[in-house]
Structure 1
Amino acid sequence: MLETKRVVQLRSRGFYVRMRLLHGTRSSRNPEKGFCYRYFKWILWLSISFYFFSSFLITRSKPSSSISRTTVSRSKPSRALIEESLLNSSSLQHLQIPDGLFKGMKVYVYELPSKYNSDWLSNERCSSHLFASEVAIHRGLMRSDVRTLDPWEADFFFVPVYVSCNFSTVNGFPAIGHARSLIASAIEHVSAQLPFWNRSLGADHVFVASHDFGSCFHTLEDVAIADGVPEVLRNSIILQTFGVKHKHPCQDVEHVVIPPYIPPETVRATLKKSPATGPRDIFAFFRGKMEVHPKNVSGRFYSKKVRTEIWRKYGGDRRFYLRRHRFVGYQSEIVRSTFCLCPLGWAPWSPRLVESVALGCVPVIIADGIQLPFPSAVPWAEISLTLAENDVDNLGKILEHVAATNLTSIQRNLWDPLVREALLFNVPILEGDATWQVLDALSKKLDRSHRKTLLRGQ
């Protein structure tokens, strides 16, 4: 509290202002001077008080950096911002989506019993292997402003069932034999708890099928085709890695083709050590399963023998860096390579497709009729090469020709960070990333929204 002989003290700043009143004897000798001085004193006191009070209010009104949110503009994302976000995971913040983006679409996420999703996370591979987009999309939606907690205002309903985390004790690969029964059980649960599934017969419900042949839920194509899409899912929207340009029973359902999951943090770590625009001393690269025994199941059917032919034709070619065994740090090889071979496996798609793009290696796609994810965001024709399965014998000549002609142009397009980001699933969602592309695709299917239909009818 201010004493009568000083207006303000600022000892914390190392100085203080002290105003002394005139002695009564001196002021009494000159009443006019005493009145003016007292008047000036009160004006000065009020001015100083107003200054410090205003400063206090301004300081309190500034938002704390610890609770700031990323506000996304409607314009195209900044390349510099995307590049920084890709390389610095600490910059990822909750995504605040502007009103009106995605046409105002809202998604309700069902809260299912843990046996359908979170129980599977006890195995850490569940959230990091190539099928883990089912986990990443769920997590991204939970932290997105597109999510609504009121199911009555939702356009779509996301059903978070993790079917790819049942790893085989024999070979360690995901076993999805339980997928159909688990999904059917989840649908029975949500239809009994809330009225929305029965209202549309699942037409506005969204599922993820991130394995070889998507919503057919089987590794071998002939079995997948014979089984087809489960009847209970035929009205729904399936986010699946499988996609081809021709008619196929495993895409005989409303679907969105999505990329396989590659942990974005591993990409960032690799690019911090070796930038995408750095030197590349490997001409053509492939590491993975290349069967050389034609009498077993893999040798007869796997990759339609394309990988076997690549090994036989180019295994001794110095231009080709081919390895049949796994290596944990193989991304360090991709970022050193000019061309990365992406032949089909059991299904047309391959995780190498995402890794090649993300690490700046020109993907060489060898999978007839493959439908690639997010073509509106990723200019595939400008960043990759597509080779017919029957043309593997000419692979060396084709790559040499490209290297001598338009390689620089392809790499310039490929190294655009916006292209890279569109294939990576971030949590939280980043503007332009893979989950963002999923939301954009769903916003184009709002004719399936029961809520939008009612609004149009009013």
Structure 2
Amino acid sequence: MVEPNKQTRRNRGFYVVKMRILHRRQSDRAAFCYRYLKWVLWFSLSLYFLSYSLISHHKSPTSLSKTTVSLSKASRALFESNNKTISRQPRPRQGLLNDIRVYVYDLPSKYNTDWLSNERCRNHLFASEVAIHTALMNSDVRTEDPFEADFFFVPVYVSCNFSTVNGFPAIGHARGLVSSAVELISSEYPFWNRSRGSDHVFVASHDFGSCFHTMEDVAIADGVPEILKKSIVLQTFGVKYQHPCQEVENVVIPPYIPPESVRSTLAKSPANGRRDIFAFFRGKMEVHPKNVSGRFYSKRVRTAIWEKYGADRRFYLKRHRFPGYQSEILRSVFCLCPLGWAPWSPRLVESVALGCVPVIIADGIRLPFASAVNWPDISLTVAERDVRKLGRVLEHVAATNLSAIQRNLMDPAVSRALLFNDHMQEGDATWQVLRALSEKLDRSHSHRRPRVSDE
């Protein structure tokens, strides 16, 4: 074997070193190119998302869904085209709600959540507008695809604002707020215009509902706003005779009573406990009713009750507020529910929920959810003209069929149907609203998604 000379070894070492240097240079060049390309890609993506965000924010103050921020006239057509195939796929009907789908508009906060700065907004007798919105947002019936929706819920709070604790709801802003909301959704979305609002749902939970006024004479004069006459209104006001404030497709809903207040009261004493008060009423009773706009408060009914039974030991009548008054309802056999300015009263719900037989004194009242609550079996109705005979009527019922009425009243499904929950439960008040809406699907138009039967 020939040993390589020194020159050959020197040349080989030089070659190895040179190759290492070239390899390192190539590696450094590749690393630099990789870093450069990654930086360019990051910068491009950042610029894209920033531009998209600015353009979307500029075009629309509301969002159509999580993936659709704005519906300009051009993008609206594209959105309809892209969703047409999916939205027309039939769905089977399921259960009593017929697999109903509701799209909830995401309106700017001035239409709803800004009003919640008033803590009473969530808890007073008109708070069903908040409760229904909350329950729908948490419900499985809510869809984020408006093209598969049966109904569109427009969450405008008009009854939140009160002048004082004992005052009227200040709803002078209501008509303007509703009109503004309709203008917004009809200009930004295609759904109002295609049905003229007939599948859109609003809540009017104050005294005279869709007339948007707290005094009946003014409410009648104003009537239902023209813009809502094709829509569906959920309202506490309802009567069996012709009245301008129900000349719109409507569902009568119960006034709002916080379910936690009922649960708290029942936790202290059960509804089937001892009842040592024969007839109970706590609330406004004018000794000399004030004539406001030509009307006497409660049509003088409450005044007549006070005059006739104020000194009667069978009647527990109080004219002043008491925070723990639900404990008094729980001790009572009969709870008087006379009309106030409007026919309905929160006492209807409280008495049923706490097992006290409601005595309804409001001629022609239309009660909520008659398909779920058999009112004749759980309550008494006394004509306004017969209010001075109230003692004899109650004594007769106590001696005859009181036990049967109380037994019917204790059915948990009855009270459940009149209470709103943040998370909808089967059979509760929001569920009953949806059931009533599902029965209106016969009003459906050609744009609604097709349905197939389970049968």
Q: Give TM-score, length-normalised by structure 1.
A: 0.76
Structure 1 partner of 2:20? none
Structure 2 partner of 1:229? 224
Match of 1:125 among 120, 126, 137: 120
Larger Rg: 2
Q: Does 1:199 align with 2:197?
A: no
Match of 1:100 among 90, 94, 115: 94
Distance 2:316 2:303 in 1: 15
Match of 1:302 among 283, 297, 303: 297
Structure 2 partner of 1:417? 412
Matches within 5 A, 1:152-171: 152-169=147-164
Distance 2:261 2:164 in 1: 26
Distance 1:370 1:269 in 2: 30
CA contact (8 A) 2:169 2:214 kept: no
Q: CA deviation at 1:103?
A: 1.3
Q: CA deviation at 1:393?
A: 1.2
Q: Does 1:361 align with 2:332?
A: no
| Residue aligned with 1:390, SS | helix
Residues 317/105 of structure 1: CA separation in 2 closer, same or farther (3 Å cut): same
Q: Does 1:215 align with 2:213?
A: no
Structure 2 partner of 1:441? 436
Q: Alignment length, in residue pairs?
A: 360
Distance 2:164 2:317 in 1: 29
Distance 2:272 2:289 in 1: 40
RMSD between superposed Cα atoms in Å = 1.7
Matches within 5 A, 1:205-354: 205-297=200-292, 300-354=295-349
Which AA in structure 1 matches 2:233?
A: I
The unaligned stretches of length 5 or more in structure 2 are: 1-91
Distance 1:211 1:429 in 2: 22
Q: CA deviation at 1:294?
A: 3.5
Q: CA deviation at 1:177?
A: 0.9
Which AA in structure 2 matches 1:400?
A: E
Which AA in structure 2 matches 1:190?
A: I
CA contact (8 A) 2:290 2:296 kept: no
Distance 1:193 1:163 in 2: 22
Distance 1:117 1:271 in 2: 32
| Residue aligned with 2:175, SS | helix
Distance 2:365 2:217 in 1: 17
Percentage of identical aligned residues = 78
CA contact (8 A) 1:258 1:438 kept: yes
CA contact (8 A) 2:148 2:448 kept: no
Q: CA deviation at 1:453?
A: 4.9
CA contact (8 A) 2:149 2:448 kept: no
CA contact (8 A) 1:155 1:452 kept: no
Q: Give TM-score, length-normalised by structure 2.
A: 0.77
Distance 1:376 1:105 in 2: 18
| Residue aligned with 2:106, SS | coil
Structure 2 partner of 1:387? 382
CA contact (8 A) 1:106 1:147 kept: yes
CA contact (8 A) 2:372 2:417 kept: yes
